[in-house]
Amino acid sequence: MRALATLTDDLFAPAMVQLVDDAEGGVRYWPEVIDPLTARAWFDRLRASAAWTHLQRPMYDRIVDVPRLLANYAVDALPDELPLAALLARVQAKAPAPYSRIGMNLYRDGHDSVAMHGDKLHTVAAGHPITLVSLGAPRRMLIRAREGRRETVAVDLAPGSVLSMSHASQSTHEHGIPKTRRAQGPRISVVFRVRPASPVGTGVGAT
């Protein structure tokens, strides 16, 4: 695993940090895109007013709870009471794209998580990034190469930060939010995607 200590100085600076490189931009991280007061206010509004759902899924021979709450919105029909349009503007300033869907994940505590995965390429438009804003408590993300030495990068996603992953990186790397036994406050991940013109599905991805 790439040690966090090697990233510490970079992550406390407002400049962009290149976590993974590829021809489409790779995985990039901006630590301080939204000021702390605004980030907290937007977190509170989303937590209180978004249309959160608690899903279940089959796993082997049983049905299990998805370990986080989910919400999903179309960019062309954003509710006025949520700060999603303002969040989209912040994302467009760093990783511009014709985003069409916003998926949100509420990690209530350290027990909520998402396994290592990559977005299914047929559900996101080629050549466009997947970009997420983190609000609430910091939470560690792991990014791991699928082949070769399978190097893993760990980054603590700060409130008000933006992380953008290229379409190409979904086939070369996987990412996830592991469970933690440490005291962990709630976090919301607001994820912006460009869906194909005729998407196979509009389910909420995670991170």
Domain count, the chain: 1
Confidence of residue 6 (pLDDT cuts 50, 70, 90): very low
Whose CA is closest to 28, among 43, 15, 45, 46? Answer: 15
Predicted TM-score (pTM) of this structure: 0.87
Is residue 178, in this structure, part of any structural domain at all?
Answer: yes
Is residue 169, in this structure, part of any structural domain at all?
Answer: yes
Tens-digit pLDDT profile for residues 46-73: 999 999 998 766 767 777 777 899 999 9
Is residue 206, in this structure, part of any structural domain at all?
Answer: no
DSSP 68: S
Is residue 16, in this structure, part of any structural domain at all?
Answer: yes
- Alpha-carbon span 106 to 79, nearest angstrom: 18
- Alpha-carbon span 31 to 68, nearest angstrom: 24
Report pLDDT for 8: 46
Is residue 110, in this structure, part of any structural domain at all?
Answer: yes
Domain that holds residue 187: 4-193
CATH of the domain at 120: 2.60.120.590
Is residue 207, in this structure, part of any structural domain at all?
Answer: no
